[in-house]
Amino acid sequence: MDLFSATYNQHQVAPLAERMRPRTLDEYIGQSHILGHGKLLRRAIEADRVSSLILYGPPGTGKTSLAQVIATQTSSRFVRINAVTSGVKDIREIIKQAADELHLYGKRTLVFCDEVHRFNKGQQDALLPAVEDGTITFIGATTENPFFELNSSLLSRSTLFRLELLKPPEIRLGLEHALKDSERGLGRYQVQVTSEAWEHWINYANGDLRRALNALELAVLTTPLENGIRFISLDIAEESIQQRAIRFDKAGDNHFDIISAFIKSMRGSDPDAALYWLAILLEAGEDPRFIMRRIIVHASEDVGLANPTVMLQAHAAANALEWLGLPEARIPMAQAVLAIATAPKSNSAVQSIDRALNYVKRHPTGEVPAHLKDGSYPGAERLGHGRGYLYPHSYPNHRVEQTYLPSTVQGETFYVPSEMGKDTFAGFKEANEKEGI
């Protein structure tokens, strides 16, 4: 040990997010769906019965922290490997050491690999025998879909757990713990944070506690004292992350005003305005699933039959959001918004179903015509059910004129096409004229 290593204190120079990693399950924040009392993974950790795991989730949700907590709680030797730099030779050496520890001292080894999706086939294959016979407990963490990135052999020998973005109260709890902890956190500083600064950090974090802790540490360490206290205002919170706060109250009028502007811009065929309001919503930390639900609704309500493919684009964007997450999903979301804003408009779908619903509410339910009733069960023919039904595919153009409404509803019209884009009766009219109807 030389002079420099003797005075080096890793705890002092490590980032706040690293220093504040939980040491026990009780200190762990979030992921109650897998770590709540009585949940499978918590029971396994507490009983020291953890098998190999794959932890899948966005950055900053606690994958590495969970692996370290498991190692501590289960008294396992913790070995961290790098998916890029650790070759097959390194893996075999780790397995050999793990076997020695197990046979000589009865101590198990937990091998943790972050970004496990970067493991090549050779690295994964080198792990399999030791994972299978229990020589090591392997925990892999990844932000990518493991079903696409890992081979089936490793997946079949591991239990998959999906970690979710932390909720705003959980982000705040993590920040408050860091401010109070005098040993590892910022508890030795006298700090006062405004409500606007809290909200800005929580929105900025977008479910990633590491991002919020980094911003908190920078703000506290760079803010000068005023009467012995470091006052953290919104301006300082913005400077700490070089990102201005966006005026957006998720529970107030401003929230509904921006959503309204977003919807009306799509309906009004203004793609630039629609993109602007979408950017505000995304940057302010609005739940992307909420935004996506509005996009899907208005793909049908405001475009509908004028261009039916827009609805498909909206659903494809929703699917992309689930698979990709933000920020990548902003691109298919924008595509869906632009498809709505630039498409011909028709609200015939919403008007048509509302006409039908209003009619049904105000009138007695009509009797199903006999020829439309189910005639497939024994005895149906004796009742006349299905008798006289004309099968459309047996006729030219696969259409045939017959009654589909109850006699009491005859003559009512619910669907009125807008004659915009593809929302027209032209196809039906052409078929009718050919048949002389």
Q: Are 187 and 180 in contact (CB under 8 A)?
A: yes
Q: Rounded to whole angstroms, how far apart are CA atoms 190 and 95?
A: 48
Are the beta carbons of 396 and 436 closer than 8 angstroms? Answer: no
Q: Whole-angstrom Cα distance, residue 91 to residue 112?
A: 11
SS3 31: coil
3-state DSSP assignment of residue 139: strand
Inform me whether the pLDDT recorded for 436 exceeds 50.
no
User: Cα separation of 161 and 365, whole Å?
Assistant: 50
Indicate where the chain has its CATH 1.10.3710.10 domain(s): 355-435
Looking at the structure, give the CATH architecture of the domain made up of residues 253-342: Up-down Bundle (1.20)
Task: Identify the burial level of 201 via C-beta atoms within 10 angstroms of its C-beta, where 0-12 means exposed, 13-18 middle and 19 or more buried.
Answer: buried
**pLDDT at 429 exceeding the cut of 70:** no
Please answer whether residues 366 and 322 qualify as being in contact, where contact means their C-beta atoms are separated by less than 8 angstroms: no
Judge contact between 191 and 216, C-beta under 8 A: no
Helix, strand, coil percent content, the chain, rounded in steps of 5: 55, 10, 35
pLDDT in tens, 361-414: 998 888 888 888 887 777 777 788 888 888 889 888 888 888 888 888 888 888
Contact indicator for 111, 136 with CB cutoff of 8 Å:
yes
Question: What CATH number is given for 168-241 in this structure?
Answer: 1.10.8.60
Confidence at residue 5, expressed as pLDDT on a 0 to 100 scale: 44
Q: Under a CB-based contact definition with an 8 Å cutoff, are residues 74 and 112 in contact?
A: no
- Give pLDDT tens digits for 332-354: 999 999 999 999 999 888 888 89
Tell me: pLDDT of 281 over 70.
Answer: yes
Is residue 229 within 8 A of residue 191, CB to CB? The reply is yes
Largest Cα span, the chain: 102
Within its chain, how far is the Cα of 428 from the centroid? Answer: 42
Whole-angstrom distance, CA of residue 256 vs CA of residue 133? 57
User: Distance (Å, rounded) from C-alpha 247 to C-alpha 245?
Assistant: 6
Asked whether 163 and 61 are in contact (CB, 8 A), the reply is yes
> Which segments of the chain belong to CATH 1.10.8.60?
168-241
Summarize the confidence of residues 260-288 as an average pLDDT: 88
pLDDT band at 435 (very low <50, low <70, confident <90, very high): very low
For the cut 60, the answer to whether the pLDDT of residue 269 exceeds it is: yes
pLDDT cut 70: percent of the chain above it: 91
Strand partners for 231:
192
- pLDDT(172) > 80: yes
Alpha carbons within 13 angstroms on the beta-carbon side of residue 417 total 14
pLDDT tens for 294-303 read: 999 999 999 9
Residue 8 has pLDDT above 50, yes or no: no
d(CA 123, CA 111): 13
- pLDDT at residue 4, rounded to an integer: 43
User: CATH 1.20.272.10 occupies which residues in the chain?
Assistant: 253-342
> What digits encode the pLDDT tens for the residues 81-112?
888 788 888 899 999 999 998 988 888 899 99
Q: Which of the 8 DSSP states describes residue 343?
A: S
Fold of 31-162: Rossmann fold (3.40.50)
- Show the tokens assigned to 243: 């990102």
Q: Where are the domain boundaries for CATH 3.40.50.300 in the chain?
A: 31-162
CATH of 355-435, one of 1.10.3710.10, 3.40.47.10, 1.10.260.40, 3.40.50.10380: 1.10.3710.10
User: What stretch of H or E contains 73?
Assistant: helix 63-73
**Bridge partner list, 55:** 141, 161
Residue 415 has pLDDT above 90, yes or no: no
Is 55 a residue whose pLDDT tops 50?
Answer: yes
CB atoms within 10 A of CB 234: 17
